[in-house]
């Protein structure tokens, strides 16, 4: 029989995640300090707990989606004294990278299992049940959460031991926000050229939906430099050739317009290494 699932923290992403769990066959119990999301969860069929401890006492899997490390620690402390042995605590919050292993150790001292399981996809993905959920923890803990997680996410990935879910989320968001910074640089260049920025935005979204954006090059199993005979070398040499040409032209335009493009210059110098290409031979350099 499926165990009851608990969900703590019904914020902008936590609430739609919890509502996806309303269909869990073992039942759903929720807790939050705000009354409005609790009322919505209750309408969907969830049971409302009077406290974190009350929720922990009746649930076999407990999802936690609060804001800060301190809040995670506080909730964890209330869970530890009430949860039954074998309960799995899943922290979906994006927390500091050194915290998950400590939480797993703490949970283990109370005969509980732990996973760090941050999510990507925002409120829209949470509402649609299409989140990516990156899970760090033991095989046993991952198996225990796979069923309810499948209701909340369409891409549930076991990333390795506790802490690796958080590391995966931080790597994913590094890409996200560095790309936002580069976007600002591109927008300034386009604006100085007299381009309609909203039209450019439509172009970017359109082409990324076709090509996959940065994820299009994320197929190798290592980020290390490729061996010369690797089948990816010829593909990425083509990518590098296009990138070097286009970055050079973009920097030339930026110089003419007086627009600072430090990220473009960094990319020009580092694209080859980022792609994992081996150093060029003397003939290639010449």
Closest CA to 86 of 100, 107, 65, 103: 107
SS3 27: coil
Q: Give backbone dihedrals phi and psi of 35, rounded to 5 degrees, phi first.
A: -75, -30
Q: Which residues neighbour 163 within 8 Å (Cβ) at sequence distance 6 or greater?
A: 97, 98, 100, 101, 116, 136
Q: CA separation (Å) from 207 to 142, 174, 201, 211, 221?
A: 36, 22, 10, 6, 25
Distance separating alpha carbons of residues 96 and 76, to the nearest angstrom: 15
Closest CA to 70 of 109, 99, 101: 99
Catalytic residue chosen out of the listed positions 15, 43, 169, 245: 169
Strands 5-8 and 61-64: parallel
The length of the chain in residues reads: 286
Indicate if 245 belongs to the active site.
Answer: no
- Give the active site residues: 169
């Amino acid at each position: 029989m499926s165990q009851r699932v608990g969900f703590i923290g019904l914020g902008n992403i936590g609430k739609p995640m919890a509502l996806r769990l309303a269909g869990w066959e073992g039942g759903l119990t929720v807790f939050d300090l705000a009354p409005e999301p609790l009322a919505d969860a209750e309408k969907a069929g969830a049971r409302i707990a009077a406290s974190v401890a009350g929720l922990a006492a009746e649930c076999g899997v407990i999802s936690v989606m609060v804001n800060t490390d301190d809040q995670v620690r506080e909730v964890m402390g209330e869970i530890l004294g009430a949860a039954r042995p074998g309960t799995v605590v899943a922290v979906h919050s994006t927390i500091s990278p050194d915290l998950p292993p400590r939480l797993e150790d703490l949970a283990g001292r109370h005969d509980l299992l732990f996973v760090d399981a941050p999510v990507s996809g925002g409120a829209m993905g949470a509402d649609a049940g299409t989140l990516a959920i990156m899970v760090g923890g033991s095989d046993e803990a991952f198996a225990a959460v796979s069923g309810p997680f499948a209701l909340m996410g369409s891409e549930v990935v076991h990333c390795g031991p506790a802490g690796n879910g958080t590391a995966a989320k931080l790597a994913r968001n590094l890409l996200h926000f560095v790309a936002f910074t580069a976007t600002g640089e591109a927008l300034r260049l386009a604006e100085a050229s007299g381009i309609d920025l909203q039209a450019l935005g439509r172009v970017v979204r359109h082409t990324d939906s076709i090509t996959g954006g940065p994820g299009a090059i994320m197929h190798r199993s290592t980020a290390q430099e490729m061996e010369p005979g690797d089948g990816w070398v010829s593909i990425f040499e083509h990518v590098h050739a296009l990138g070097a040409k286009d970055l050079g032209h973009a920097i030339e335009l930026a110089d003419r317009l007086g627009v600072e493009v430090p990220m473009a210059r960094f990319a020009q110098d580092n694209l080859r290494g980022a792609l994992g290409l081996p150093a060029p031979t003397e003939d290639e350099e010449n």
